[in-house]
A = this chain, B = another copy of it.
Amino acid sequence: MVKQRLSLVTLGVKDVAVSQAFYESLGFEAEPFDSSDVVFFDMNGVVFGLYGRAALAKDANVSVGDLEDKGDGFHAISVAINLESEAEVDATLAEVAAKGGTITKPAEKVFWSGYSGYFADPDGHLWEVAHNPFWSFDEDGRVMLPSKQATN
């Protein structure tokens, strides 16, 4: 049985310093760490990391592939920041745009009855910023899915 955990999300980036500066400009606080090769952000239970694309590929023992082509392309993955209101989604995307993020999709009402927009970071990694009226948060801001809400 594999433990049902997701402990760390690592983005392979072209320039760790550039990406760290971008996320810090959004207000994220990096963990103190004596290395310029990797940066960790404590996402309150899950860790968000930045690491060089080539180094990440090497670490996983996979081919780097045509990184330049993939740099601005679709990585078949996204991460999301879920918020308590549509207004907070709009304000967040506005700040991201002001800080140099590329808005790939302005927030709008979506088919699952929520409100969602997307931005791309300096490497084209996709972040959704969304409000889901069916999801709530615990006191630490962690998403509480319906099944967990029912038990609390």
The interface of chain A, by Cβ under 8 A from chain B, is 1-13, 26-29, 31-32, 40-48, 53, 56-57, 59-65, 67, 70-71, 73-83, 92, 95-96, 104-105, 110, 116, 118, 120, 123, 125-126, 128, 138, 140-143, 145-148
Of the candidates B5, B79, B80, which one forms a contact with A141 in the assembled complex, judged by CB atoms under 8 Å apart?
A: B5
Residue of B nearest to A124 (CB): B62
A7→B79 CA distance, assembly (Å): 7
Of the candidates B26, B63, B120, which one forms a contact with A73 in the assembled complex, judged by CB atoms under 8 Å apart?
A: B63
Contact across chains for A4 and B29 when beta carbons are under 8 A apart = yes
Chain B residues with CB under 8 A of A116: 59
A28→B26 CA distance, assembly (Å): 33
